[in-house]
Amino acid sequence: MLTRLKVSGFKNLVNVDVRFGAFTCIAGANGVGKSNLFDAIRFLSALADLPLIEAALSVRDEEGKTGDVRSLFHRVGDTYADEMSFEAEMIVPAKGEDDLGQKAKASITFLRYSIQLAYRADNSLRSLGALEILKEELVHINRGDAAKHLLFPNKSATWRKTAVIGERRVPYFISTEGEDSNKIIKLHQDGGSSGRPLARSATNLPRTVLSVTNAAESPTALMARREMQSWRLLQLEPSSLRQPDEFTAPTKLETDGSHLAATLYHLARLKRRNNEQSNNEQPNDDDIDNQVYYEIANRLATLIDDVDKVWVDRDNRRELLTLMVTSRDGTSHPAKALSDGTIRFLALAVLALDPEAQGLLCLEEPENGIHPERIPKILQLLQDIATDTNEPIGLDNPLRQVIINTHSPAVVMQVPEDSLLVAELRETVRSGQRFKRVCFGYLPDTWRRPKDSDPSSTSIISKGKLLAYLNPVPNQDLEFDNSGNDTNYQKTKLARSRKRRVVDREDLQLLLPGFLVNEQI
């Protein structure tokens, strides 16, 4: 779970400091850079898994391309920043395994990972360039300090005590020492001073030290790696969601929505296996399967009234699994017949029910394809996917987090007030250069404003900025002179005579928020 992220020098993220709870909604106009925050999270995730150059090329640049590593650095005019830095505070899983299947147990689960990268020209890679690690560190955050860092509401006797566990006296799991060509990055074993650290020269290091950790060397660093690898951007493609699956297909929903049928079928079988282990009596397999299918159907019915059943058809002859939805009149429809919004909602409902789906899920504009009246339903579903910070972590409350971005007023008006961040561009002057950077504001009187917060990195949202979401459709575009008279009277009247908008109807205007009455027009 990512609880705090500091970024500087990455795209238009300069001195950004953002805190996250279990559910966060980032609102902002097109092009301000709210998606850049997602790209920063994806980049960190890739650094924990891939070589530096591959991690950089996996992130889109301003034009949607990935051909130049330099494009990831902050730019003012034609001048690029020399460095970029990231710092992430996170709660990691207590247990896991490495790439060879060896078991690992973290000595402490609240950690802070930081990395500083520089651009280095490299002719062997044509115009791509290369990245150099200037500093890499992984340290722990003491349990006694957890309350100072976890500002979102959580009950100390329940959620926090099951999320932040373990202890350690020596601060570093990964540290950087030396300067220039003598710089080395050390991986410290979980035994602290009793274990000899593994030192690697930072010069020409092709990947982060974190990305090669295993259970034998540092179980805690491995769990930090596993946590960062679980940070995903979900881009649910209806074409992928609708595809049937072979019997041998993976049973985990991919970022594009692939393997939805196999994942739901697996959940039904998992429920069956858990029942068999906990009960001496053998219940009917169909009844157990139906428990899972009924839960999914009930959730889908909050979006669509005409839903009686959701199930997976098993075709033994073709060895295919097909997701089916049965309406109340008994007609069954395959996934390929469902609308885009319906199939995406169904995928999220499956994720909410899957205890094995953990980590951070980022979604862009989840309201797409959803009727405005049903948007509260998908927002509730997304909040249900996230961990409940008032209940202990377990199979029924996995350590899971959701961050969405949007520019929809219907979403902004419905999300919890303390979950909202508003992205906006602000002009900044540094070293004589004037540029715009993205800032993330929050509502006053919420947990997001700590006493020691840096006013230059985050701020209170102005009421003027919120008006665009609370009253998104202005009644009319008026310009007034110093006497208060409308200078655009004739122009407005002419425009109305040509084409009247829906919002211009007199019988509807009284229903609009912020109704402006002007009898003269």
Residues 409 and 444: beta-carbon distance below 8 Å:
no
The DSSP 8-state label assigned to residue 40 in this structure reads H
Lowest-pLDDT range of 45-49, 107-111, 442-446, 457-461: 457-461
CA distances from 392 to 43, 149, 155, 176 (A): 30, 19, 9, 36
Select from 48, 47, 13, 46 the least CA-distant residue to 32: 13
> Which tokens sit at 95?
């247990």
DSSP string, 81-140: PSEEEEEEEEE--SEEE-TT--EEE-SBSEEEEEEEEEEE--GGGTTS-EEEEEEEEEEE
Percent of the chain with pLDDT over 70: 82
Tens digits of residue pLDDT in 143-177:
888 888 999 988 767 899 999 998 887 889 999 99
Lowest-pLDDT range of 9-13, 96-100, 119-123, 228-232: 119-123
User: How far apart are alpha carbons 265 and 290 in whole angstroms?
Assistant: 11
Q: What is the pLDDT of residue 428?
A: 85
What b-and-e string marks burial along 302-338, b requiring 16 or more CB atoms within 10 Å of the CB?
bbbeebebbbbeeeeeeebbbbbbbeeeeeeeebeeb
The DSSP 8-state label assigned to residue 406 in this structure reads E
pLDDT confidence of 237, banded at 50, 70, 90? very high
Q: What is the mean pLDDT of residues 95-120?
A: 94
Residues 115 and 47: beta-carbon distance below 8 Å:
yes
Q: How many CB atoms lie within 10 A of CB 124?
A: 6
Q: What is the mean pLDDT of residues 309-328?
A: 95
User: How far apart are alpha carbons 113 and 347 in whole angstroms?
Assistant: 32
User: How far apart are alpha carbons 354 and 361 in whole angstroms?
Assistant: 13
Q: DSSP H helical segments within 326-389, as ranges?
A: 340-353, 375-385
Containing 155, the helix (H) or strand (E) segment is none
Backbone phi and psi for residue 117, each to the nearest 5 degrees, phi listed first: -125, 150
Q: Which of 188-202, 266-280, 331-345 has the highest mean pLDDT?
A: 331-345
Q: Is pLDDT above 70 for 504?
A: no
Select from 109, 144, 116 the least CA-distant residue to 221: 109
Query: What mean pLDDT, rounded, does the chain reach?
Result: 85
Q: What is the pLDDT of residue 451?
A: 63
Angle between helices 285-301 and 260-278 (to 10 degrees): 130
183 Cβ neighbours under 8 A, 6+ residues apart: 134, 176, 177, 201, 202, 203
The DSSP 8-state label assigned to residue 377 in this structure reads H
User: How far apart are alpha carbons 338 and 132 in whole angstroms?
Assistant: 48
Q: Is pLDDT above 80 for 61?
A: no
DSSP, collapsed to helix, strand or coil, labels residue 454 as: coil
Q: What is the pLDDT of residue 180?
A: 82
Q: Is pLDDT above 70 for 126?
A: no
Q: What residue spans define the domains of the chain? A: 2-230+384-468, 236-356, 476-509
Lowest-pLDDT range of 234-238, 301-305, 395-399, 497-501: 497-501
CA 354, 153, 346: angle at the middle one, nearest 5?
A: 25
Tens digits of residue pLDDT in 207-233:
999 999 999 989 999 999 999 999 999
> Which tokens sit at 90?
């996170």
Sign of CA dihedral 42, 44, 48, 52: positive
Q: Is pLDDT above 90 for 48?
A: yes
500 Cβ neighbours under 8 A, 6+ residues apart: none
CA distances from 288 to 262, 270, 293 (A): 17, 10, 9
Q: What is the pLDDT of residue 479?
A: 44
Q: What is the pTM of this model?
A: 0.87
Q: Which of 61-65, 417-421, 444-448 has the highest mean pLDDT?
A: 417-421
Select from 389, 375, 380 the least CA-distant residue to 352: 380
- Cα-only R_g, the chain: 26
Q: Is pLDDT above 60 for 29?
A: yes
Q: What is the pLDDT of residue 278?
A: 54
Lowest-pLDDT range of 217-231, 243-257, 284-298, 404-418: 284-298
